[in-house]
Structure 1
């Protein structure tokens, strides 16, 4: 009886592991075929409705570029696994708008979909990290290909689009710069000369004895945070950015291959 029970337990474990591998393989295949699905299947009308209702950047695009934006959003959604944390599921509105924040950042970079980051963890509110012992609004983990967001903080960032604080753009900026290192060591998609110029500006501003009155102090934690904060200001306060730091703004235009002051030309 004992040996039969042991054998049965082993069989059940093997079946469970096999089913788990199948599910993992199916999920990988689903994400890997995202580009094909995007161009074969129509963009769900629900996605368009959500973008039109809630995403100002999308509304400001020309009709031609709205269609291109929709394709990039759909590709992003198909290529990621959205994982709910402390909630039962991730609503379609959250998937579309989180994808839209990534596409907003990368819209001028046609072949960039942040593919290294294939898991999006979504918390309803700020979440506690057992590592830092602090509450967070978002973070990026390149080792495991994870982007983590507080949905409430994400929404707050887009409700007020002029305060230069946007957790969606901030975390996607981290992901963009990290993926430029992780996946493209020999062929990086961000203009290397412009990136070097950007880093030089970051060091100059943060090392200056004169107080920086444009970027919030958190920008000077390190060059990655400076990039993320610069991205927030690039999209939320482009006119003032261009006026106060015209050279740095021009570098950002070159890095992201777009200019928020000339939306219709995208």
Structure 2
């Protein structure tokens, strides 16, 4: 009987959560709670295990945390299809996984400000810039926009340091840090300033003809450098650490994780 009442109580609580999360502003607050109460659906774990290499390499305890955070991200966002009928569950899980890969070491960060994820099947045309885009982040409207094909392409080759999901989530993460909400100012200001100082120095040397480690696009501004650095951090961590050890160490501190040690099993 106790089991029945416990299950019944959880069911009522989940129902209430669903009602509360009908509005996006409430959803972003309740989602982390819901992800702790509601078991991770088997479908979500199956998708991660089949398609997401980063998740596959994690030890079991970190996989459980990762999957819960993926669910919290999904619960808190509206996935809006563009030029397609619907956003599939595979699409939602993998996009959420790219955000969680980046925020694995920031357990209380869910990119709260960005409540809508627009998904196009391919690169899309912008009437504002009058050119095609693979993705973008719009802080004014709390939107992350992604081309699904370009997103997938970013994970097909895991070592080329071209990953649309990580790139756009990195933009959202850096912007989230300066938006006044519950997730405001989570980066250590001194570490972030140190990162930007390294970036300026690297770009100055690149302009002087030094062989670059980062692609030239990184030097557009500090936001693009951060996004490109994140791509390299996850896709070429060993080369990154050997080429720019101080910058790598600072980024590791900002993200509170290190891909070179993350997959090790923690002793009991």
**Pairwise TM-score range, normalised by the shorter structure:** 0.7 to 0.9
How far the C-alpha of 1:186 sits from its partner, in A, is 9.9
SS of 2:129's equivalent in the other structure is coil
Question: 1: distance between equivalents of 2:230 and 2:151?
Answer: 15
Q: What residue number does 1:17 align with?
A: none
**Are 2:27 and 2:77, in contact at CA under 8 Å, matched by a contact in 1?**
no
Alignment map for 1:124-143 (pairs within 5 Å): 124-143=121-140
Q: What residue number does 1:120 align with?
A: 117
Mean Cα deviation higher: 199-208 or 69-78: 199-208
Alignment map for 1:7-86 (pairs within 5 Å): 26-28=22-24, 29-86=26-83
Equivalences, count: 244
**Are 1:123 and 1:150, in contact at CA under 8 Å, matched by a contact in 2?**
yes
SS of 1:243's equivalent in the other structure is helix
**Are 2:28 and 2:112, in contact at CA under 8 Å, matched by a contact in 1?**
no
Alignment partner of 1:146 out of 140, 143, 146: 143
Question: 2: distance between equivalents of 1:77 and 1:186?
Answer: 17
- The structure with the largest alpha-carbon Rg is 1
**Are 1:116 and 1:179, in contact at CA under 8 Å, matched by a contact in 2?**
yes
Q: What residue number does 2:239 align with?
A: 240
Question: 2: distance between equivalents of 1:175 and 1:101?
Answer: 12
SS of 1:252's equivalent in the other structure is helix
TM-score by structure 1 length? 0.88
Mean Cα deviation higher: 180-189 or 38-47: 180-189
Can you give the 5+ residue segments of structure 1 that lack an aligned partner in the other structure?
1-22
Can you give the 5+ residue segments of structure 2 that lack an aligned partner in the other structure?
1-18
How far the C-alpha of 1:130 sits from its partner, in A, is 0.5
Question: 2: distance between equivalents of 1:251 and 1:110?
Answer: 19
Question: 2: distance between equivalents of 1:30 and 1:181?
Answer: 21
Pairing 1:223–2:219 present: no
Question: 2: distance between equivalents of 1:138 and 1:205?
Answer: 26
Question: 2: distance between equivalents of 1:226 and 1:186?
Answer: 22
**Are 1:124 and 1:152, in contact at CA under 8 Å, matched by a contact in 2?**
yes
